[in-house]
Each structure stands twice: as C-alpha cells, then as structure tokens.
Chains A and B, each alone.
Chain A
Amino acid sequence: MKTKLLWILAFCIAAGIVLIGCGESKVEKKVKVKNKDTFVLVEYGTLRSLDPSVCYDNVGRQRLMNLYEPLIYFAGSATDKFKPMIASEVPTVENGGISKDGKTYTFKIRKGVKYHQGGEVTPEDVVYSFKRNMIADSAGGPMWMLLEALTGSGVTRKNEKIIPGIFEKIDKCVEAKGDTVVFHLPTAYPPFMSILTYTSSIILSKKWAIANKCWDGNIANASKFNDPKPGYEPLKKIANGTGAYSLKSWEPGKQFVFERFDTYWGGKPQIKTAIFKNVSEWSTRKLMLHNGDADRAQVDTNYLSEVKAMKGVKTYDVPLLSVTMAFFCQNVDPRGNTSIGSGKLDGNGIPPTFFKDINVRKAFLHAMDRQTYKKDVFSGMVVLPTSPNIKGLPYHRENLPFYAFDLEKSKEYMKKAWGGKVWEKGFKMVITHNTGNDMRKAAAMMLAENVSSLNPKFKIEVRTVDWKDYTIQYRAYKFPMFLIGWGADYADPHNFVYTMMHSEGVYGRYMAYKNARVDKLATLGIQTTEPSKRKVIYHNLQDLWYKEALAVPLYQQIVTRAYRDNVMGFVPNSIDTDAAEDLKAISKK
C-alpha cells in the first residue's frame, strides 16, 4: 500500500513539473504596471563613493548626476551642444561668455536653485566646488581633467609630494564676480566645456561641505585635504545637491534609493522614488524585468537576443563613445617574455621590434575580416571604427580609408616584411586579451587563424590573462599584441587621439610608438580653439593613423538598454554608458 502511494506521489510531482514547464506563464498574462511612481533598475555595478573628487566609475557618475548638477550638460543626444543647468546660459564666444583667445570662460549663475537640505546656490558655492575637488585630487580619481585644463598640470602631487605652487594656481583659476563665475585657463583648452559636464564639476554647497569636513576654504590649509584616504573621503556616503532627486538611502552592494526633490528648479519629475538594486545574476534580473518587478534591467551583449525576444520590453540601441582595438607593441620587453618565443626571427619567436616594420602591421590589418566579425560576433549590432577619432566625436572622417579583409594583400606584406625573412623563416607569437571578454577573444582568434593560414610557418597562439594582470603586463611592454578598449571621459577627439597616438598617451606609450609629426599634431589639437583649424589637425591625424597602420580598430560598441514598455522618456546619448539613467526624464504610463 505504502509503495503504491509513493509511486502515485512521484507521478504527481513529475506530472506537475511537466505541466508547469509546458503551460503558459501566468505572470506573462498578468504583468501590469507596478508602482507607477516608482522606478526600479536592476543592475550589477557597484558604487565606491559619492564624493565627486573620487568617483571615477560609471555607476558613481550615474548616481551623482541625479543628485547633483554641473553648470552645463549635453543637450539631448548631442555631444557637442550644451544646455544650461546651474548656469543660466551656455557661454559662447558670440555672447561674450568665452573670450576670443579661449582662455576665459564666464558663467552666469542661475538664481533660485535650491539644495536638498536647504539654501540656494551662490557663485561662491560654484567657486568653492571646483577648488575643493581639485584640492582633494584623489589618486586614481577624475580630477586630472579639470587640473589639466585649469592649471596646466594634470596632478597635484609628484613622487608623493605636493607640486610647489599648485594650490595657488587652483586658487586663482576660478573666481566669483557678482552673479557670475569666471574660469581662467592657462592656455586655450577646447574640451573644457565638455569636461564641465563630468561629475567632477558638479556644484556643492560650500557651507554644507565645510560642515562635513571638506576643505575649509583656506588655501593655506589645502595640503591637509589633498588625497584623502580611500573610503574615508568626507562626501563618500552623503549628498546634498541640487539635482531632481535626493539620496534616501544607500546600502552598499545592495541598493540605492532616490527620492524626488519636490522643489527642484526644473519642475517636478513624475517618478517619486527610484530604486537601483544590485542583482548580479542575469537570470534573476531577466525574470524581474519579465515580471514587471524591474522597470529596466542591465543587459550584457551575450544576452541581447534573449531580451529582444521578451514581450512587454522595449529596447534602445545606443552606440557608445568607446572603442576597442588590437594594438601592436613596437618594442616588447624580451626579459622572461613567453609571448615572443625565442625573441628572434628564427621560426620559433619574434624579435622585440617585430611590429616596427609597417609591413607586418599592414599584413595583420588586412587579415582582419571585419564584416564577418560584425555579423557573427555582434549580429550586426556594432559600429566598425577606422581610427581613434570615432563616430560621434567631432571631426570624425566618414570616408577614411581602411585596410579591407584581403588575405592576398596580407600575404604580400608578409613577404616584404623584414626583408623577406618573416616569410622565409616564419614566426611564433602570442596575441593576448583579457579574461571574460568574448568579443575580444573572437577578434584575437580570427586574427590568429587568418594570419596563421598565410604560411604554415606562422604560428600564433591566443592567450587569456586576468584583467588586473593584463593591465600590469601591457604597461610593462610584455605583449606584442594586446586588445583593449577606451571609453570617453569627455566628448573630444583629444581624449582618444592623444591617448592612442601620442608617444606619451595612455596607450601610445605602451605601443612604443614615437612619431614627431604625430606628437606635434596631437599637442596642437588641444592647443587650438578654432574649430576649422582643429578639423584640419584631426583629419591629418586620422590620415596618419591609416598610413602608419598603428593598430587594428575592432569595434565601437552599441549597448542595448531594456525597459518595460510602459517606461517613457529615455534620451540616448553616446557619452552616457550603460549605467547612466537620467531619472528626471523618465515617466511611466
């Protein structure tokens, strides 16, 4: 009897599971708008600090941009047009806000802008905010941008010592004059306006900041407030901005809750409460979006097809101002380096200067099948870049030539390389990419396979290295070829072109590439204010990029944002990363 009962029970459980599996989801039928005035975003990024002098990550930027406001911000989807925020108008040369030499910027300050905890914004607050953040200048933080533009030095310390006179420069570079704030730049700096949109340029209440142990306003004491201990910076966990939302609660690693600021100067937004939950597991995020418990879910590229097939979900494809390339290092460190085999052109390795020969570089460029890569890896959802001056940046050249996939040409260049020795002896090397990035892995594999197919003596191995080690090693000139990306700090070609082409640029340096003409033009690009002249400079640099065949441009990513279909108001802007969310623009039907 008992045995029979057990069998019946087992059958019922199995049948139940099968029925559940086959039946249409009850939730799918039932999903309705939950909490019309609450917006829930499920994401996986973590936030380190709310201090604008420290915050240099996308999640932090997103939080700060809803809590605080800068003087100006990008207008709509534009990356070269601005709208006034704390400033009452955008300064231009025409309205006298920007001096003709590009060294003085005058901002009229909006009146009646209130802070969450009381008080109104004054020009003194604006001046204090800029000085305080530059004085703090945390290691690894974002202040280099403002420091470079306003003092000519991207840092306040050198060899752990304060640079003499740096605080005096900071003190003099910005001042309040009546209802205006005036910035004095040592030299013209065209991306300055774009830098002012960054979170390091948001406005703090001077009184509140000083009460919370920020710089006391006395420049003689500045060094005491420089480079605060990470995690103990004064504004790490608190916020008092002018943004449309105030900080209601923050449980690190769990959730961040915003509350509408009802007396916001720009009008009351529809969403009353916004909850940003940290949900690391994709399946959980997906189900929450599916059930309507989340209004938006952060999606990784490999799950795009799943999210696009979901009912009741609206997706937006936004090209980002970021680019990934495969860089050639033209002078690899051979010490204990397994990436270059024997270190000689003997068929078992490559010499450290293997990529100094332009023929080798061109051969690799012609071996990259960009169209197949686009189709197979991204399902067509990607922009193929041609140079660091990517689409979306000013002075981008649409018609810049590129090295099309052509294995015959690749073969020709390889035959010419190193006086024919490469073809004769063959070579062995490693292409490296960082762990966990499938897009980079696919590109590395494609290059390795295609180049190896040219000659049986060519042997290329693809190696994966953890990101932290990867960063250390490419900076130690250990990789002959490394794949890495760059995201915009601000929307100006200088941020990309200098980085990748100048011999002192963040990547240019580690490509061990030095070209006096390129260096001169890249420097000139940042010193020139006249747009027509800048256009010529950056067009020349793009030409040089092509001629010099410096790296293999791989992809300019398009991110997909997934919202429930009742969520309205999202405005795409390529400067905003996936983490960004302008809550005041969002509403729910």
Chain B
Amino acid sequence: MLSTHKLVNILQAYIIRRLFFLFFVIFGVSLLVFTIQYSYGPDRRAMLYVDSPQQAKDIPELKKKYGLNDPYPVQYVRYLKEIAMGNFGYSIVAARPVWDAFLHYLPITIELNLFVVPLFIIIGIWLGKQAGIKRNTTYDHVTRILAIIGWSLPTFLFALILLMIFYGKFGLFEPAMLSANIEAFILDNPDKYIKYTGMYTIDGILNGEFGITWDAIKHLFLPVLTQVIVIVAILMRVMRSSMVEEISKDYVITAQAKGVDSKTIFNKHVKRNALIPVITIAGQLAALSMEGSIAVEMIFNRHGIGNWLAHAALKLDTSVIMFMCLFMAVIFVVTNLIIDLLYAYIDPRIRLT
C-alpha cells in the first residue's frame, strides 16, 4: 500500500510529465496547421482582405505588405515568434485581434457548456444505467428509440424544430442571449452591471441583478435542450452497453448468489466499473463542446466560439482557424489528462506510471 505522500508525488510527477508533452503537441499542431494554410498560396491568403472585385486590384500590394511571398521557413518562424509573444493575429470576421475575440466569445460558449456538460453526463449515465439494468424491457426499448432519434437527427434540424415550436408558435424563448429590454438596461446602466466573467447568468448574480440571470437562463433553455438531447443519446448507449457487459460478469452472479441486494450490486460495483468507457466518451464530448456547437449557436443566435468559427471558416480567416486548432489541442491534452486521473480514481487497480 502506497503512503499518501508517495501517491501525491507520483501524481505530481505524472501531471508535470503530461503537461511537458503539451509543448510538443502544440509545436506539432502549429507546424501542421501552418503548413496546411501555407499550401493555399500567397494569392489565396491575400484574398482574406478582399471582399469585392473592386478590392481585388490590391492583391499584389497585400501580398507584399503581409510578407506572403516570403519563403516557408521565414513565414513559419515569424508565426512562431508572434504566438510566443501572445499575438495570434487579427480576426477579420471578429474585427479585433484573435486573442481579444477569443476572450470575448469563450464565456458565451462556456456558459452554455456549464449547463450542457453536467446535464448530459448525469442524464446520460442515469438513463444508460437504467436501460442496462432493465435490459429488453419497454423502458429499454423506449430509451433506445429516443437515443436513435436524438443521435440521428441532425443538430441543426432539431434546433430548428424546437425554435419553430417554441418561438414560432408560442413566441417563447427568443433566439438571443438576453431579452431586448434587459440588453437595453445593460447598455443604459454601465455602472449597475459590471462584466466580470462575460457570462450573463453569473454576472447577473455578481451584480445583484437576478432578473438578468433569470432572463439568461430562459434564453439558454432551448440551446441547452438541443445540445443535451443530441449528446445524451450517445452517452446513454455507451453506458447501457457497458452496464450490460458488467452485469453478465461472474462477480455479479457471485454477489447475487451470496444474497447481496441489487441496489448495492448495481450502484456500488457494476456502475463503477461500467463508468470507465463512459468517462472516455464523456470527456471527449465535453472537450468537443468547447469548440461550441456551430448549429446551436447560429440558430439560437448566440455569439460564441461556434458562431465565430463558422464565420471564420467561411471567410477563411486563417488566424482564427490556426488559433482554434492550437486551442483544441490544449483542450484535448488537458481533457485526456483529467480522464486518466479519473480512471485511477474510479478503478484503483489502474496505476499512473
């Protein structure tokens, strides 16, 4: 048995080692994305600054101005130097530097995820567990159908259906982040509403303006519902399969034979073991949601990372795309680290080496 002190040391060494590899991952990703965007050629990249045929005459000047004709190594070293200084370029679609735009849009996506991630994990695990236990019952069949619908229905279509029913038919849940009068209040009273986090639900509480928080929650209802229903389907199915597999193992039969009550077997033993693959999937889904759901953000008019990324991709705003690749690399490295730590926590047989 390891002492607590030794365990903490192992844990620290493990985390430091994994984070050290982060630099290599970032370097690799930067090299890859830079090479991809470089392959577009100088004319194509200069076109970022051109919106109309009238402006096209300035392409040669734009190429010179931004050094787009320089050799590959020169441009890559320049890019690395810039990102080392925290300059990720300028986002044309956001009309501001990439880092500023990121800080502006990130809280909007995080706010959505603060509701979505816990909900899809809790609901997904619970529904999956129940379906696994009640295998081949009506409950299992109904959840299976719901899972198929949730997973196969495209997010944008599902979002549009919800919007048409709730907003189109009943005038509820306007596609925005706040109601017009609340937004007007914020604009008119900069002294009464200070932007601490950029998340209306939290800033409303911090400013003592609970009406803003409530209004923001109302506007989060449909986007959260859409995201949760779509994501929960896959998690539920993974959890179910994992539960079914665990239930059929010998230790469960032994426990049942020994007269251990079902609640203890399922909650204490089976669920714990069944969670291992679920954690991997849940972690990946949570990491992916940091990119923002493009369909949800666009349809419900939320100006977060997803909306920004969609516009950037359409306009080939390369600075944004390159930055987002780096950001997602960091997110996935950190998420995988957390998943590994959770493995060890849930199943003590797994060692961090």
Distance, CA A257 to CA B190, complexed state (A) = 15
Q: Mark A246-266, 1 if CB is under 8 A from B, else 0.
A: 001101111001000000000
Contact status A57-B52, CB under 8 Å:
yes
Q: Does B300 contact A (CB under 8 A)?
A: yes
A95 in the interface (beta carbon within 8 A): no
Does B257 sit within 8 A of A, measured CB to CB?
Answer: no
Judge whether B65 is part of the interface by a CB distance below 8 angstroms: yes
Q: Using known A-B contacts A46-B93, A47-B95, A273-B184, determine if residue A468 contacts B307 with beta carbons closer than 8 Å.
A: no
State whether A469 touches B53 (Cβ < 8 A). no
| CA A280 to CA B297, docked complex, whole Å | 10
Please measure, in the bound complex, the distance between the C-alpha atom of A90 and the C-alpha atom of B184, giving whole angstroms: 40
Which of B16-24, B41-49, B231-239, B241-249 contacts the other chain? B41-49
Q: How far is the CB of A36 from chain B (nearest CB, A)?
A: 13
B93 touches A472 (CB 8 A): no
Using A281-B301, A506-B57 as known contacts, say yes or no to A27 and B142 having CB atoms under 8 A apart.
Answer: no
CA distance A86 to B226 in the complex (A): 52
Complex: A89 Cα to B169 Cα, angstroms = 53
Smallest CB–CB gap between A188 and chain B, Å? 23
B 34-74 contacts with A by CB, 8 A: 43-44, 47-59, 61-62, 64-65
Q: Is the CB of B171 within 8 A of A291?
A: yes
Q: Which of B151-167 contact A (CB under 8 A)?
A: 160, 163-165, 167
A253, B61: Cβ atoms under 8 Å? no
Interface-located stretch among A354-362, A390-398, A422-430, A482-490: A482-490
Contacting pair B44 A468 (CB below 8 A): yes
Q: Which of A42-82 contact B (CB under 8 A)?
A: 46-49, 56-57
Q: Which of A455-498 contact B (CB under 8 A)?
A: 468-469, 471-472, 475, 484-487, 489
In this assembly, does A566 line the interface, its C-beta being within 8 Å of a C-beta of chain B?
A: no
**Contact of A26 with B142 in the complex, beta carbons under 8 Å:** no
**Given that A27-B170, A253-B307, A484-B53 are known contacts, is A469 also in contact with B44, CB under 8 Å in the complex?**
yes
Q: Tell me which residues from 132 to 146 in chain A have a Cβ below 8 Å from any Cβ of chain B.
A: 139-140
B175 to chain A, nearest CB (A): 5
B170–A472 contact, CB under 8 A?
no
Instruction: Determine if B298 and A287 form an interchain contact, defined as CB atoms under 8 angstroms apart.
Output: no
Cβ distance B53 to chain A, nearest Cβ, rounded Å: 6
- Judge whether A49 and B95 touch: CB under 8 Å: yes
Interface string of B285-310 (1 = CB under 8 A from A): 00000000000001111010001101
Query: For the complex, what is the distance from the CA of A273 to the CA of B187, rounded to whole Å?
Result: 11
Interface string of A10-25 (1 = CB under 8 A from B): 1000000100100101
Known A-B contacts A472-B43, A472-B44; the reply to A230 vs B175 at CB < 8 A is no
Chain A nearest CB: distance from B98 CB in Å?
10
Q: Are A3 and B138 in contact (CB under 8 A)?
A: yes
Complex contacts, A487 vs chain B, CB 8 Å: 52
> Are A20 and B51 in contact, with the CB atoms below 8 A?
no
Assess whether B311 is interfacial by the CB under 8 Å rule. Answer: yes
Indicate if the CB atoms of A253 and B53 lie closer than 8 Å: no
Name the one of B93, B138, B180 contacting A35, with C-beta atoms under 8 angstroms.
Answer: B180
Given contacts A23-B169, A56-B51, A291-B168, contact A253 B94 (CB under 8 A): yes
Task: Contacts A230-B49, A277-B176 known; list 7 others, CB within 8 Å.
Answer: A6-B139, A20-B165, A139-B58, A257-B187, A281-B298, A283-B299, A475-B56
9 A-B residue pairings within 8 Å (CB atoms) = A38-B180, A49-B95, A140-B62, A253-B94, A253-B303, A277-B176, A280-B311, A281-B298, A283-B163
